[in-house]
Structure formats: structure tokens, C-alpha cells
Amino acid sequence: MSEFRRGLRHVEEAMGTVFSFDVRDTRTPAIEAAVHDAVAWLHHVDEVFSTYRSDSAISRLARGEIGLDDCPAEVREVLDLCERVGTATRGWFSATPGGTLDPSGLVKGWAVERAGQLLRAAGAHHTCVNGGGDLQLSGEAAPGIPWRVGIAHPLRPGELCAVVTGRDLAVATSGSAERGPHILDPHTRAPAAGPASVTVVGPGLTTTDAYATAAFAMGAGAQDWLEGLDGYEGLAITGDGETWRTPGFPGISCAA
């Protein structure tokens, strides 16, 4: 039996969404333990960063009950990353998009990327970690075959707007089709009037996911901004169904 047929799959609910692990390497005790550790990590992240839990470190920090030095080390790491992304996006990404502390736009991608690193350290080199539709991909789906990721069309339920193909990449989509206008414009603190959806592809999900959020908030300026980035590509469906993509977007557009 091929090593790509003896893998491991696991689905876990955490952080208010569903995560899935698809490991295509030969199943070993080390990889099984790494999946267990990755699941525990996701729940730990939820305990620390959930803005829906009054006892989480991020909620207590936002209320001023504790200081940054009283928080787990991950909080400072995430807030530093948010600051860097905010600079790179010219302020279109913020850890305080609505005026209060909420780094959720970066936390999920960061948690998924770290989970993928745990798998890789255990010897799993062909993996897909999916966090609510945003993915960190490593290696190949099968020998000589890249991963293929279908991007849901935001205006045509049940249809795809593109299929992304590649190895060792992250894919993140931001939009309002499923959750409504939940992404805020950090400059006005009002719901962003972005396109129907923006998909960003890059090397790691931490930044890729945050860039997708920022690109959605930017609206019309997102295409030029993404084209100026090194190592990131984007695809968007506008509210009237038109499509734009950066020149190096690694996929096939299905949208007419």
C-alpha cells in the first residue's frame, strides 16, 4: 500500500469553527501524537484568545484586568504580528478593528500554521490543515500530484469561482457571503464595503489570512496592493460578479 494511502484524518470543533487534518504520509505513532498535540493546541488558543469567553486572557487584557506581562507569551507574539501586518497593509488590518482589542483576524491563521508545523516536526510532510475553509498545505496530495483547493463562489451557492493548485502554500478567503458583514474597516470601524470575496495565496497562513482580511477591507485598492507584494497572489469576485486576479495567481478561474 502506498504511503499516501496510509495516512490519517481528523475533524475537530474549536474556536467556533471546524478544523480538519488530512495527513497523507504513512501513519506513525509520532504523527498520531502530533495530531493530538495540534488539537490540544487549538483548544489552548481558544482559551487564550476567544473574545467570546470572559475569562480568556485577551478578554481580560481588553478590560484592563491584567497587563500584557500577565498574559501567556503567545499574546505578545500575536499582538506583535498584528502590528507588523498593520504596517504592511497601511493600516487596513488592525488588532482593534472596532476600537477594542480583537486580534481574531490573525489568530486562526496563526494557530493553523503552528498546527501544521507540529505535524511537520513529527515527520508528516504531506498535509492539509483546514481551519474553517482557510488552509495550510504541505507537500503533495499524492506522488507527483499537487493539492487542489476549490474556492466557493460567493454569489452562486454550490459553484466554484476558482481551483487553486500547488504545493507548500496557504489559501485564505475573506468575504460576507456566509457570515454577513462581519469584517470591519479599521479606519471607520464600520462594516467594510469590500467585494463579495477575496482569496489570497501565500507561503504561510498567519500572514495570508490576515492579508485576505485586509484586502477585503481595502475594497477597490486591494488589487494594486496585492500585485505589489512579493510571494502573495489574489483573486476577487466583486459584488456585481466580475472577477479580478493578480498575474501569478496559482489556479484556474471557474467564474464566467
**Grid cell for residue 212:** 485576505
**Grid cell for residue 160:** 466554484
150 within 8 A of 163, measured Cβ to Cβ: yes
CA dist 130 and 256 (Å) reads 27
Judging by DSSP bridges, how do beta strands 233-237 and 243-245 pair with one another? antiparallel
pLDDT along the chain (256 residues), means of 10: 66 97 97 98 98 98 98 98 98 96 98 98 98 97 97 95 96 83 90 94 98 96 97 96 95 68
What pLDDT is stored for residue 2 in this prediction? 39
Q: Please report, for the domain that includes residue 38, its CATH number.
A: 3.10.520.10
What pLDDT is stored for residue 180 in this prediction? 66
Can you give the three-state secondary structure of 101-127, one letter per residue? CCCHHHHHHHHHHHHHHHHHHCCCCCE
> Across the strands, what pairs with 199?
173, 235
CA dist 33 and 22 (Å) reads 14
Mean pLDDT, the chain, whole residue set: 94
Query: What does the pLDDT look like over 53-64, one tens digit per residue?
Result: 999 999 999 999
What pLDDT is stored for residue 193 in this prediction? 87
Which residue range(s) make up the domain with 113? 3-253
> For the chain, how far is it from start to end, CA to CA, in angstroms?
41
CA dist 216 and 93 (Å) reads 10
**Three-state DSSP class for residue 36:** helix
Q: What pTM was estimated for this model as a whole?
A: 0.94
What pLDDT is stored for residue 182 in this prediction? 83
Strand order in the sheet with 134-138: 8-14, 17-23, 127-131, 134-138, 169-175, 197-202, 233-237, 243-245
What pLDDT is stored for residue 218 in this prediction? 96
Domain count, the chain: 1
What pLDDT is stored for residue 9 in this prediction? 97
Strand order in the sheet with 147-152: 147-152, 160-166, 251-253
What pLDDT is stored for residue 219 in this prediction? 93
